[in-house]
Amino acid sequence: MCGIIGVVGDADPLTTLLAGLTRLEYRGYDSAGVALVRPGEMWRARTAEGTESVSALKLACADAPTDARSGIGHTRWATHGAPEAVNAHPHVDCSGTVAIIHNGIIENHRELADDLRARGHVFTSVTDSEVLAHLVEEGRRAGLELLEALRATIQAVRGAFAVAVMDATEPDVIVAARRVSPLVVGVAPGVTYLASDVPAILDRARVFYAVNDDEIVRLAPEGFRAVDLDGAPVRLRQLSIDWDLETAEKGGHDDFMIKEILEEPGAVRATLLDRRRLDGTIAFDEMRVDDDELRAVRRVVLVAAGTSHHAAQVAKYAIERWARLSVEVDIASEYRYRDPIVEIGTLVIGVSQSGETIDTIQAVREAHGRGARVVAVTNVVDSSLAREADAVVYTRAGLEISVASTKAFVAQVAALELLALRLAQLRGTLEPDEVDALVRGLGALPALVERTLARRAQVEEVATALVGARDFFFLGRHVGFPTALEGALKFKEITYRHAEGYPAGELKHGPLALIEPGVVVVAIATDPTLREKLLSNLAEVKARGATVVAIVSDDDEVTEAVADYLVRVPVTEPMFTPVVDVIPLQLLAYATARLLGRNVDRPRNLAKTVTVE
């Protein structure tokens, strides 16, 4: 998605903006731009060179003014209007002295633009964002000071935005506002920053604040002030950011993806940390839903997208098995439009690494509006999803930059299974000693993940042997099925090779027709209770010429009879296997993509966070 950054009071704002835009690149983008402001003059440069736009921008800034102290910058992921320089941000008003940058979608931009054109405004782009520049211009023409002009603007627009505005008549001021799209403010002595998220200004700001929906901030070198939509002063919530700059860098690895895969033991460990009170009950962050309400839950609905949806599918098995509650798992973008049934006792769990996925936020809002209680499972403190929910269970996977989500998945499964155990505790469907044993089993997972990561070489051998294959099926049964879906998603999104995840029992209902020599079947075969059935599925595909890769437990002595390649993982409780079994699948995708020369951190066409529907 788009990324925004701004700074006031900086001795070298251009360097700050370009460094910040570089750090925002992972959000996915196809063009970029900056604006610097001097008294009475707005200087602007924009490029549209795909994922090289920021590099191109540095060249385009050769003649940038050196006496500016403030500026704004933007990386754009096209939603309205082609990825061309004319549509790149910053956009300016008719006078060329008001500049805006925007992340999100203005849903009523057409009617606003029609009205503005009727008032004589001239548009130079086909974006939805440009209306913001002309609306602020209207406010300035009416004599409003800059913050008030922006407040009037966001009262007129519908949709999602994180918007920042500069006016050459007030060179050391930026005003900004957000609704749905993320926005943070950072402060250092004599300099104030804003950005879509922390990494962009991590090495410059000292203290960070979250801007909430419909709050408007005015930044000046000495600091900032904020008001709500009615103009009443508000205090921004300070964020507890313990990331050092290195966290946002690659830590010596070739890519963020492998760094984040290798961080998975720590992600699971941190997520499970101090989750139990002295009396043995399981405790969560910001649990604003009390025990009686949780005890009264009669039905659970999980909504999520992508990898988070696969973690949610694992949670279905755990909640039904341990808490004996019926569970539905919905694709977030579908939930909102199917007129969902929400009765008394419905608990909706929104799962999202970023906490900014618009589909999941809107699905949770829909559920909330129909009376459901909502728990968020998210990796970002104060994210939009966290603020929308009645309660939050934070995964503590740390910053996840690579577009391919890896450590977030294992942390989500751990957090969701802990939530399932909490529900079982409250409903008395598990004895205390059973809960203790399962919590201990969860606690043993980081070490098992470490042992699995240590076997990386065996996966790399498989990747090398099969790098020429074009079609991959990932099969599993029970929780091995969502694990297979996740393995297929990882594989397709970074190798660009066709890969599908399927319940192993479904193969003979159609997909078996696709099996022929050259097709690779990757089977998750670590659950001993289902091994026999899976073996017969593998025999079927083997007989038709498929190449079989089996993920098997250390104690498995039978699967090698039907597998061309074995990848062994430590034995664990079947319900915990997704956390361990997903590791070789992530490594297989990573190793294959590297062999194919793919950009594993920023795969084509994709964005880290999808903040538009």
Query: What residues are annotated to the active site?
Result: 2, 608
User: According to CB under 6 A, which residues from 143 to 172 bind ligand AGP?
Assistant: none
| Residue nearer to ligand AGP on the CB measure, 129 or 609 | 609
Nearer to ligand AGP, 167 or 486 (CB): 486
Question: Can residue 271 be called a binding residue for ligand AGP (CB under 6 A)?
Answer: no
Q: Per-residue x/- marks for ligand AGP, 322-361, CB under 6 A?
A: ------------------------------xxx--x--x-
Q: Per the structure block, which two tokens stand in for 168?
A: 């050459």
Distances (CA, A) of 176 to 7, 151, 184, 209, 527: 11, 9, 10, 13, 52
Nearest to 482 by CA among 497, 502, 498: 502
CB 27, min distance to ligand AGP, A:
11
CA distances in angstroms from 392 to 265, 283, 364, 371, listed in the order given: 22, 11, 13, 17
The pattern of x and - marking residues 532 through 561 that bind ligand AGP according to CB under 6 A reads ------------------------------
Q: Shortest distance, CB of residue 360 to ligand AGP, whole angstroms? A: 5
**Segment near ligand AGP (CB under 6 A); pick from 149-157, 274-282, 302-310, 575-583:** 302-310
174: closest CA among 313, 72, 57, 306? 72
Q: What's the rounded Cα separation, in Å, for the pair 403 and 537?
A: 33
Strand order in the sheet with 191-195: 41-47, 31-38, 70-76, 3-8, 191-195, 184-188, 207-210, 237-239
Residue nearest to ligand AGP (CB): 306
Beta-sheet strands, E only, within 211-317: 215-220, 223-228, 233-234, 237-239, 299-304
In the complex, the smallest distance separating the C-beta of residue 604 from ligand AGP, rounded to whole angstroms, is 13
Residues within window 400-419 making contact with ligand AGP, judged by CB under 6 A: 403-405
Per CB under 6 A, 308 contacts ligand AGP: yes
CB-wise, 136 or 375, nearer to ligand AGP? 375
Q: How many CB atoms lie within 10 A of CB 533?
A: 12
Q: How far is the CB of 309 from ligand AGP (least distance, A)?
A: 7
Residue with tokens 């790098």: 467
Comparison of 157 and 312: residue with beta carbon closer to ligand AGP: 312
Establish if 255 lies at the interface with ligand AGP (CB under 6 A).
no
Cβ 406 to ligand AGP shortest distance, Å: 7
- Are 371 and 344 spatial neighbours (Cβ–Cβ below 8 Å)? yes
CB of 449 to ligand AGP, least distance (A): 18
**Edge-to-edge strand ranges of the sheet holding 299-304:** 326-331, 299-304, 346-352, 373-378, 391-394
Among 137, 170, 382, 493, binds ligand AGP (CB under 6 A): 493
Does 384 help bind ligand AGP (rule: CB under 6 A)?
A: no
- Joined together, the tokens standing for residue 74 give 């933007």
Does position 610 interact with ligand AGP (CB under 6 A)? The reply is: yes
Terminal alpha carbon distance of the chain: 11
- Interface ranges with ligand AGP (CB under 6 A): 305-308, 352-354, 357, 360, 403-405, 489, 493, 609-610
